[in-house]
Structure 1
Amino acid sequence: MVIGVLQFEILIPGAESLKDKRRVIASLKDRLHREHMVSVAEVASQDNPRLARLGLALVATDGKRAGQVLDQISAKLRNIREGQLGDMSRTIIHGDGGDAPEPNPADLDTGLLEQEMQARALRADHS
């Protein structure tokens, strides 16, 4: 199992309000989810109408496939019309692929992106 993580900023110079920002970000999140089956969440700067910091995660069977999808998404983000791509970083996490025991929640990183990924995984397991 491989987890691909992309953290990025979207600058929205024309946004006058949080409502303007939400319209742009909701459209982007929906499009990325629909076209690439990834999870996307705003993870910081929620109160800034001209800046959005987002986290995106995907699960793949191998690193090559995860990298290809992240490359496609990165190219798409560089060409969005509603805003401009700011800083971006990506991480590929390789799991052992075996029957590893469930991690102890006390041992998990408490960063915003990691919390969102864990919450979404739990919801997916229960549906």
Structure 2
Amino acid sequence: MHIGILTLRISLPGCTSLKEKRQRMGGLHARFGRNPAVSVCESGDQERLESSEWSFVVVGAVRSKVESLCSEIEDKMQRTVDGRIMETSREFL
């Protein structure tokens, strides 16, 4: 069993309310949580308006599959989120 933890810190320039932040970051649970190998949560900056931190825990029997899924998540986040990814970290257990 291999576990990958992908953490993304996202800048949300011009965000003026928590409601706007939720709208801009909305749907992450629906987009990524459908996959039974992925768990997603807002792991930091919950009260900050202009940034958000999200963590994805990916589990699989083969490390290469876990790494590939982490890359897919990161690519999709860059294309779909209304913000800029400022920091990315990956950890494999």
Deviations 1:20-63 (A, max 9, x none): 111222323321223x4411111111111110011110110010
3-state SS in 1 of match to 2:52:
strand
- Cα distance in 1 for residues equivalent to 2:64 and 2:5: 14
Note if contact 2:9-2:88 (Cα within 8 Å) is conserved in structure 1.
yes
What secondary structure sits across from 2:47 in the alignment? coil
Structure 1 residue identity aligned to 2:60 = A
Residue of structure 2 in register with 1:48 after alignment: 48
Q: Which entry has the higher C-alpha Rg, 1 or 2?
A: 1
Deviant stretches of 4+, over 6 Å: none
| Offset, 1:86 | 1.2
Counterpart for residue 39 of structure 1 = 39
Q: What secondary structure is seen at the aligned counterpart in 2 of 1:77?
A: helix
Structure 2 unmatched runs, 5+: none
Counterpart in the other structure of 2:9: 9
Tell which has more relative contact order, 1 or 2 (C-alpha 8 A, sep 6+).
2
TM-score w.r.t. the length of structure 1 is 0.66
More strand by share: 2
Partner residue of 2:58?
58
**Alignment identity in percent?**
28
Q: Please, what is the CA RMSD of the aligned residues?
A: 1.5
Q: Distance in 2 between matches of 1:13 and 1:20?
A: 11
Helix, strand or coil: the match of 1:53? strand
Give 5+ residue unaligned stretches, structure 1: 94-127
* Equivalent pairs, count: 92
TM-score by length of 2: 0.87
